[in-house]
């Protein structure tokens, strides 16, 4: 049985029970999602990926984000496609991330919206080339409604 099948089985029994808890350790109370909301967000992402991605052969999707309350839904959404999930650490050196994306031969990368905003701020601090890249990011990206943007590998590297 796959992970996504196990989650769906649990959701069918415990739909209104807590499935995910995330504490940012910022003196705020933790955030909780029920199985119902996790599965709903995952299905929304899966449908988005199937609609907008032209998967050929092996299906792999990069996920460029920090840990958060939505991460389980995002991973589940990718697995439901079905596709492999490839984590990309936003805190890793850019050369390492680029090498990883090329090595995995990723055609699509889901980028957490907050990470795009961080890149915009860094690009505005002096690197003119970074601003051109950011314009391309927005021109070539497609946005699901779950806090991510879908980008082609050529845009990210």
Tens-place pLDDT, residues 13-32? 999 999 999 999 999 999 99
Give the span between the Cα atoms of 143 and 148, in whole angstroms.
6
Question: pTM of this prediction?
Answer: 0.80
Q: State the residue range of the domain holding 123.
A: 3-156
How far is it, in rounded angstroms, from Cα 109 to Cα 60?
Answer: 9
Residue 69's nearest CA partner among 129, 127, 18 is 18
CATH label of the domain that carries residue 27? 3.40.50.12780
**Which residue ranges of the chain lie beneath pLDDT 70?**
117-146, 153-157
Q: What is the pLDDT of residues 118-128, one digit of tens each?
A: 654 554 443 33
Domains of the chain: total: 1
Amino acid 34: pLDDT: 98
Q: What pLDDT is recorded for position 147?
A: 80
Residue 78 host element (H or E): helix 71-79
pLDDT of residue 118: 62
Q: Could you identify the residue written with the tokens 């699509």?
A: 108
């Amino acid at each position: 049985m796959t992970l996504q099948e196990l989650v769906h089985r649990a959701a069918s029994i415990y739909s209104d029970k807590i499935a995910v808890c995330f504490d940012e350790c910022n003196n705020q109370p933790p955030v909780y999602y029920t199985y119902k909301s996790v599965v709903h967000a995952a299905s929304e992402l899966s449908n988005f990926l199937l609609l907008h991605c032209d998967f050929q052969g092996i299906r792999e999707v990069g996920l460029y984000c920090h840990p958060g309350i939505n991460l389980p839904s995002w991973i589940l959404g990718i697995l439901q496609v079905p596709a492999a999930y490839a984590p990309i650490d936003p805190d890793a050196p850019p050369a390492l991330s680029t090498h990883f994306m090329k090595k995995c031969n990723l055609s699509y990368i889901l980028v957490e919206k907050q990470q795009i905003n961080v890149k915009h701020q860094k690009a505005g601090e002096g690197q003119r080339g970074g601003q051109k890249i950011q314009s391309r990011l927005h021109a070539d990206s497609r946005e699901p409604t779950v806090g991510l943007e879908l980008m082609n590998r050529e845009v990210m590297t």
